Chain A
Amino acid sequence: MNEHENHVVSRKVYVGVFAALLVLTFLTVAASFMDLGYWNTPVALLIACIKASLVVLFFMHVFYHRGFSWVIVGASVAWLGLMLAGTVTDNMTRLDERGARRQYDRRAPAHEQVTVEPQKQP
């Protein structure tokens, strides 16, 4: 088995990635308790993406591969992004019957809020 054929990753790398993942988990919990306004969810997703990248690159060996693994990983992420982006842009730009931008949840008009039916008791 040649060295360049199938790279055997050092155990130090695995332990380093493991430690980084635990630290980032702690960070994401700590960040969720801070009021970052609009940025809470983007920060949580950014930390999750960094963690996922570490797992893909080192635990899943993509960092040491050339070519096709990168293409498949890239295509997966790109199509998922396309699906999310397409739907979200539709969802965020819908207008209500008065032609105003649709507001949901707490600020919703009364007819939209009444969706929770009381439980029917047998």
Chain B
Amino acid sequence: MRATSSTSVIHVAHHFEDIQQQREAATIGMWLFLATEVMFFGGLFLGYTVYRYMYPDSFAHASHHLDIMLGGINTAVLICSSLTMALAVWGAQVGSRRTLMIMVAATIAFALMFMIVKTFEWTHKYHDGLIPGLHWTYPPEPEAPHMKMFYVLYFFMTGLHGVHVLIGIGILAWVFLMAWRGKYVTGDYMFVENTGLYWHFVDIIWIFLFPLLYLVDRHAQ
């Protein structure tokens, strides 16, 4: 253990030269993980691209069954959560435990709000009989014979994204607990920084899901 300055005491592992190298390594490790996440979601985006090219009319028709207001609200909610997450990292960096805790709590609140709206949407889809494999009672339409394919992709993409949001809530709850105990504000903020990277990545996935799922050919509605 070495003190890097008079105000911050940080553990530097023996295989690192100094705190800067340790921080860079943590950032690079997180970015490599996010690269695998890009591939993870990339497969679903690829499937979407292929089937949307094959069945453009069915995809437009199916997309019009999604609630643009709820999707838009959730987009705004996630953007708000990204702002509070960025401010939480700022709080940890400048050593403000109060800012860190308030902003992490706000991020958790926005994340929960997102999941609640999503639950309403998914429940509504069940009532409409638009869940492939579980509850599909939607009458086949001659001009849109492949709506089921859209909803298979819809549930896998929003489902996988939702799982990421839930994992994020768990990690953020951990950050809140440790911040409450006084961690992260004495220079050792890398865990908060990496949680932020994960959270912003989840936001980016939704930034692409929103237009691709909710806004297909809305003008032709």
A residues lining the B interface (CB < 8 Å): 1, 5-6, 8-9, 11, 14-15, 17-18, 21-22, 25, 28-29, 32-36, 40-41, 44-45, 47-48, 51-52, 55-56, 58-61, 65, 68-69, 72-73, 75-77, 79-80, 83-84, 87-88, 91-92, 104-106, 113-116, 118-119
Contacts and interface: CB of A to CB of B under 8 A. Distances in A.
Contacts of A80: 38-39, 42, 45
Nearest to A117: B140
Interface in B61-101: 68, 72, 75-76, 79-80, 82-83, 85-87, 90, 93-94
A79 B215 CA distance: 26
Top 8 closest A-B pairs, CB basis? Answer: A32-B215, A44-B211, A116-B140, A32-B218, A18-B83, A72-B31, A76-B38, A104-B54
A58 B87 CA distance: 12
Contacts of B46: 83-84, 87
B4 A1 contact: yes
Contact of B79 (A18, A33, A79, A88): A18
B35 A75 contact: yes
Interface stretch (B21-29, B118-126, B151-159): B21-29
Interface residues on B, range: 35 or more
Interface of B, secondary structure class, is helix
Given A48-B208, A75-B35, A87-B46, A55 B57 contact: no
B219 A59 contact: no
B204 interface: yes
Interface of B: 4-5, 8, 19-20, 23-24, 27-28, 31-32, 34-35, 38-39, 42, 45-46, 49-50, 53-58, 68, 72, 75-76, 79-80, 82-83, 85-87, 90, 93-94, 136-137, 140, 143, 145-146, 148, 187, 193, 196-197, 200-201, 203-204, 207-208, 210-212, 215-220
Given A25-B76, A32-B219, A41-B216, 6 more contacts: A1-B8, A17-B83, A18-B82, A80-B42, A88-B53, A91-B53
A34 B28 contact: no
Given A22-B79, A29-B72, A91 B50 contact: yes
A36 B216 CA distance: 12
Chain A binding site: helix, strand, loop or mixed by DSSP? helix
Contact of B204 (A22, A45, A47, A52): A52
Contacts of B5: 1
A72 B83 contact: no
A73 B31 contact: yes
Contacts of B193: 61
A9 B90 contact: yes
A121 B203 CA distance: 41
Most B Cβ at <10 Å: residue of A22, A87, A105: A105
Contacts of B8: 1
Contact of A60 (B38, B50, B68, B200): B200
A102 B75 CA distance: 36
A76 B34 contact: yes
A119 B24 CA distance: 56
